[in-house]
């Protein structure tokens, strides 16, 4: 496979038109055509070697094959990636378009990240939750573009790999963390339903003969028992490993690995230290702003009651305002009604062109997607299914007790609900995504940068209020800051827990006393901080970069700066790291 690949690469280099055009003069990007071809080859090779990832992004070419997480496979991939990297080095970035230099760096980041993951991070040793075959089977079963029988044939082929998959998974584990072991047990148990119910039901409903059904069922039962064995193995490990450092390790990544992972994940112009310091300073600024608005509002809501010292007053004000929320049965209609209002505001203030040909559909979260804890989410079409609808999923409140419903509605009170809609829909995730999908470039849509995506949604919240959304009411600003504080504390929490040994008590205290969160929210966040690393930073990191870029553009362009053109230009590059957009914009300013 490696030989073939190298052959293909050299073949493309030789036959690419630019090679023959020999710089007849005007084309400043002489290697660009060749680079475009190389990108296609690169993506093809990534999918060939990552069939599960391909499937998750809607490329069904390799569905029959389940990727075995073996050492041999890692080595083979490292080999392929090495030759891709060598080919990438042959391009002089001056000879490809600026948009393609972004791609080149994204590709290089990906290859280096994989290399580092194999040799340094090694999560395949300590994270048993990395091993779970459920999702892939679920996606294939749900692929309604092909007949049920065809789906079951693919599933039957794929099932044959499962026993080996779990044997290899077990042998990969070396001192896994207790937290990730717990998660591995939980999530693999969660997948059992697919094999015990969904697939058997589909087999029964199919037009296969009894003989054919028997064969699939046979593959199914072997896969199922290997999965159960894995769960059992992890459960035993959990029982025998309590406080035993020879069999478990800490979930805390430590500074060295954390910093490197941050670099690969964020691809930010700021270092971990810079972002952490900015978050610390920002927390203090936010608290001061919140105190200011609380003072302004005090007599309106508390009359002559004496205002307590410090953040206690802010908490009282937030609790009082939170009582103003919609009725449980009005939750989804309220969200639906707000979307056109946000659109109208964007138009009226001339902030961004919104493409009305790509409408957003607000719907109740489908049953199979519920239970993840998220009350609202955007369901975006993937790079292989661009014309699919964009859904704004909102989970209706019928599954909650009256107390839980009340607590939830206070959290998403009259003001926060508007900020949520700004974040998820307009001008946040949905609007950004419409722009991103117009960039016809698979590299940019496959390797999306989360800091840019979440950063834009967080930036949008502040920008809307700056432009007068909510009529500058102190209530709106106070609630905005409560929400904004969450992104800031996420960063402080992540770094402190992963690198500075922050205890659970200190973490919960921070979130409740300085973040005004409920204890349920704080507990959930602590859990996330033990299970993920650097992910909680993407909101604040991206926001900080985008805001800084905007201020930089304002300074550079002076009177020529237009907020609308800035937004449209910024979004036109796709979901790529902010620092690359920054570099291109800066270069263009100089030409101007």
Distance of closest approach, residue 416 Cβ to Zn ion, in angstroms: 13
Cα distance between residue 430 and residue 379, in whole Å: 9
Compute and round to an integer the Cα radius of gyration of the chain. 26
Span interacting with Zn ion, options 101-109, 386-394, 448-456, 510-518, rule CB under 5 A: 448-456
The closest of 263, 278, 261, 351 to 543, measured between CA atoms, is 278
465 contributes a contact to Zn ion by CB under 5 A: no
Interface with Zn ion, residue 106, by CB under 5 A: no
Q: Please enumerate in sequence order all residues whose Cβ is within 8 A of that of 470, keeping only pairs 6 or more positions apart, or say none.
A: 415, 418, 476, 477, 480
**Between 307 and 326, whose beta carbon lies closer to Zn ion?**
326
Instruction: Select 258 or 430, whichever has its Cβ closest to Zn ion.
Output: 430
Using rule CB under 5 A, residue 279 touches Zn ion: no
| Residue where the block lists tokens 């870029």 | 549
| Segment near Zn ion (CB under 5 A); pick from 103-111, 294-302, 392-400, 446-454 | 446-454
Residue closer to Zn ion (CB basis): 179 or 461:
461
259 CB burial (10 A radius; 0-12, 13-18, 19+)? middle
Q: HEC profile for 506-555?
A: HHHHHHHHHCCCCHHHHHHHHHHHHHCCCHHHHHHHHHHHHHHHHHHHHH
Residue pair 43/135 in contact (Cβ under 8 Å)? The answer is: no
- CB 158 to Zn ion: min, Å: 32
What sections of 160-254 are H helices per DSSP? 162-172, 178-193, 199-205, 210-240
For the CA atoms of 529, 257, 450, 513, what is the dihedral angle to 10 degrees? 30
Q: Name beta bridge partners: 360.
A: 390
Residue 328 C-beta: closest distance to Zn ion, Å: 9
Q: In the complex, which residue's CB is closest to Zn ion?
A: 457
Residue 304 in tokens: 């002559």
Q: How far is the CB of 547 from Zn ion (least distance, A)?
A: 16
The DSSP-derived string for 89-146 is HTS-GGGS-HHHHHHHHHHHHHHHHHHHIIIII-HHHH-GGG---HHHHHHHHT-TTS
Per CB under 5 A, the segment of 36-44, 263-271, 335-343, 449-457 that binds Zn ion is: 449-457
> 């072997």: which residue's tokens?
222
Q: Closest distance between Zn ion and the C-beta of residue 75, in Å? A: 37
User: Which is closer to Zn ion, CB of 227 or CB of 419?
Assistant: 419
Beta carbon of residue 421, minimum distance to Zn ion (angstroms, whole number): 12
For tokens 């700056």, what's the residue?
466
Least Å from the CB of residue 6 to Zn ion: 41
Minimum separation from the CB atom of position 234 to Zn ion (A): 31
User: Between residues 24 and 401, which has the closer beta carbon with respect to Zn ion?
Assistant: 401
> Which region among 149-157, 447-455, 461-469, 561-569 touches Zn ion (by CB under 5 A)?
447-455
For the bound state, the minimum distance from the C-beta of residue 454 to Zn ion, rounded and expressed in Å, comes to: 5
Cis omega (within 30 of 0) for bond into 427: yes
Q: How far is the CB of 506 from Zn ion (least distance, A)?
A: 26
| Smaller CB separation from Zn ion, 422 or 457 | 457
Q: Contacts with Zn ion: how many residues (CB under 5 A)?
A: 2
Stretch that binds Zn ion, among 259-267, 356-364, 451-459, 509-517 (CB under 5 A): 451-459
b vs e for 447-486, b when ≥16 Cβ sit within 10 Å of the residue's Cβ?
bbbbbbbbbbbbbbbbbbbeeebbeeebbbbbbbbbbbbb
Name, in order, each residue with C-beta under 8 angstroms of 371's C-beta and a sequence gap of 6 or more: none
Task: Work out whether 227 is an interface residue with Zn ion (CB under 5 A).
Answer: no
For Zn ion, which is the closer residue by CB, 99 or 461? Answer: 461
- Cβ proximity to Zn ion: between 155 and 417 the closer is 417
Among 457, 538, 546, 585, binds Zn ion (CB under 5 A): 457
**Residue range at the interface with Zn ion (CB under 5 A); choices 46-54, 174-182, 268-276, 453-461:** 453-461
Closer CB to Zn ion, residue 378 or residue 465? Answer: 378
CA distance 215 to 204: 13
Nearer to Zn ion, 454 or 475 (CB): 454
Chain residues binding Zn ion by CB under 5 A are 454, 457
């Amino acid at each position: 496979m490696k030989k073939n690949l190298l052959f293909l690469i050299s073949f493309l280099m030789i036959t690419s038109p630019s090679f023959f055009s020999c710089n007849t003069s005007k084309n400043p990007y002489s290697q660009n055509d060749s680079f475009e071809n190389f990108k296609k080859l690169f993506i093809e090779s990534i999918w060939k070697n990552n069939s599960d990832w391909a499937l998750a992004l809607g490329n069904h070419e390799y569905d029959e094959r389940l990727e075995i997480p073996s050492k041999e496979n890692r080595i083979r991939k490292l080999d392929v990636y090495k030759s891709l990297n060598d080919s990438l080095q042959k391009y002089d970035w001056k000879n490809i378009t600026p948009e393609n230099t972004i791609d080149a760096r994204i590709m290089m980041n990906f290859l280096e990240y994989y290399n580092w993951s194999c040799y340094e991070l090694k999560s395949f040793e300590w994270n048993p939750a990395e091993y779970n075959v459920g999702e892939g089977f679920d996606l294939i079963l749900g692929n309604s573009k092909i007949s049920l029988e065809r789906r079951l044939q693919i599933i039957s082929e794929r099932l044959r790999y499962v026993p080996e998959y779990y044997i290899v998974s077990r042998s990969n584990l070396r001192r896994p963390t207790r937290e990730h072991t717990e998660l591995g047990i939980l999530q693999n148990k969660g997948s059992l339903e697919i094999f015990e119910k969904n697939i058997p039901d589909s087999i029964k409903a199919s037009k296969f003969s009894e003989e054919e059904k028997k064969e699939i069922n046979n593959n199914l039962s072997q896969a199922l028992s290997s999965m159960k064995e894995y769960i059992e193995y992890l459960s035993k490990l959990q029982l025998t490993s309590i406080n035993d450092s020879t069999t478990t390790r800490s979930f805390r990544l430590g500074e060295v690995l954390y910093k490197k992972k941050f670099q690969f994940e964020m691809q930010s112009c700021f270092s971990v230290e810079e972002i952490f310091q900015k978050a610390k300073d920002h927390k203090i600024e936010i608290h001061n702003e919140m105190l200011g608005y609380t003072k302004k509002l005090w007599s309106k809501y508390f009359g002559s009651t004496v205002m307590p010292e410090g953040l206690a007053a802010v908490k009282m004000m937030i609790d009082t305002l939170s009582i103003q929320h919609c009725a449980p049965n009005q939750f989804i209609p309220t969200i639906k009604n707000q979307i056109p209002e946000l659109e109208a505001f964007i138009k009226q203030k001339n902030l961004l062109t919104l493409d009305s040909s790509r409408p957003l559909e607000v719907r109740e979260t489908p049953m199979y997607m519920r239970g993840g804890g998220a009350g609202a989410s955007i369901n975006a079409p993937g790079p292989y299914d661009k014309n699919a609808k964009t859904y704004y999923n909102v989970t209706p409140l019928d599954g909650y007790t009256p107390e839980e419903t009340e607590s939830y509605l206070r959290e998403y009170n009259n003001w926060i609900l508007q900020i949520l809609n700004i974040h998820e829909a307009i001008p946040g995730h949905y609007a950004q995504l419409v722009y991103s999908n117009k960039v016809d470039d698979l590299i940019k849509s496959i390797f999306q940068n989360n800091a840019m995506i979440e950063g834009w949604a967080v930036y949008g919240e502040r920008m809307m209020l700056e432009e007068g959304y909510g009529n500058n009411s102190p209530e709106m600003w106070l609630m905005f800051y409560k929400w904004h504080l969450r992104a800031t504390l996420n960063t402080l929490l992540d770094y402190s827990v992963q690198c500075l040994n922050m205890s659970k008590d200190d973490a919960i205290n921070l979130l409740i006393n300085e973040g005004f969160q409920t204890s349920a929210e704080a507990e959930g966040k602590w859990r996330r901080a033990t299970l993920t690393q650097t992910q909680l930073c993407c909101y604040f990191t991206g926001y900080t970069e985008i805001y800084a870029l905007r201020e930089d553009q304002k300074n550079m362009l002076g009177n020529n700066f237009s907020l609308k053109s800035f937004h449209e230009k910024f979004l036109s590059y796709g979901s790529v790291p902010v620092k690359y957009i920054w570099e291109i914009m800066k270069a263009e300013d100089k030409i101007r």
